[in-house]
Amino acid sequence: METVTSNGIEYVYRRQGEPGGLPLVMCQHFRGNLDNWDPALLDALAAEREVIVFDNVGVGGTSGRTPSTVAEMAAGALEFVDALGLARIDLLGYSLGGFVAQELTLVRPDLVRRLVLAATAPQGAPGMHGWVRDIIDAVGSPQTTGPDLLHAFFTASAASQQAGKEFLERFSERTTGRDTHTSWQTRNAHYDAVVRWGMPNFSLLERLQVIDCPVFVANGDDDRMILPRYSHVLAGLLPNATLKLYPDAAHGFLFQHHAEFAADVHTFLDQS
């Protein structure tokens, strides 16, 4: 785990893979810290490029107070990227991190060469104003358990549940150098940001038309946290997007199908 400081905020991050080409910077999900990334996914992505994961302002080991708007989170992500001296990146945003990645790309379009949006949604889309009760109960409780994650991130099928159990085992593999747990303040700020992003406003959807870099939109075909229809909305509004839905998969599709998703990301990023 490394640190870099910008404007009084000390960001914690991890880098892996071989430097040389453009790094892939990854923005994390609701309440997630560095350790919530699937090690198998990171290893697969880092096999062909440098991968950088980080805690945004106030999250996990990064100092400060977690902001409650996506715009402020995007500003923090930009501060982090600038502090590393990166002038050009590929960007992957997952769930809430996908909101941040969209906003960052809108604010600094010259920074992002290619964009991956995983299990996420555009701002202002109707029906996104918060999550259904059983999902927020599962991921928004003070102590999220393994069964909670299996319920929210994987489908009810035997194959998906087994993949979820294997993910939980990988998730617990790191025994030293673990990140700081996210706080209750982060939980509340993140959910406030999710709800604000989801307030219906059709005019905000038009913003996506100015993101002209290539975009890979991906989700599970049975995501109950951020419904697959929002992936179709994203792909339809972005001028240069491709879409893939992974079978028998929910919000954790990129953990369930980590090898396939990593291969798809490599193929997308390797295109000229």
Domains of the chain, first to last: 2-270 (3.40.50.1820)
The pLDDT assigned to 198 comes to 96
- Cβ–Cβ < 8 Å for 101, 78: no
How far apart, in whole angstroms, are the C-alpha atoms of residue 252 and residue 37?
11
C-alpha span between 79 and 56 (Å, rounded): 10
pLDDT of residue 214: 98
Res 133 pLDDT > 80: yes
User: Helix and strand tally (H, E) in the chain?
Assistant: 11, 8
Q: Tell how strand 89-94 and strand 24-27 pair up.
A: parallel
pLDDT at 87: 96
State the pLDDT at residue 176. 87
pLDDT, the chain, mean: 96
Predicted TM-score of the model (pTM):
0.96
Q: What is the dihedral of CA 193, 196, 197, 203, to 10 degrees?
A: -150
pLDDT of residue 70: 98
How does residue 20 score in pLDDT terms, banded at 50, 70 and 90?
confident
Q: For residues 242 and 236, what is the distance between their CA atoms, to the nearest angstrom?
A: 9
pLDDT in tens, 136-191: 988 988 888 889 989 999 999 999 999 999 999 998 888 888 999 999 999 999 99
Q: How far apart are CA 155 and CA 148, in angstroms?
A: 12
The percent of residues in the chain predicted with pLDDT above 90, rounded, is 88
Q: Which letter, b or e, does each residue of 67-95 get, where b requires 16 or more Cβ atoms within 10 Å of its Cβ?
A: bbebbbbbbbbbbbbebbeeeebbbbbbb
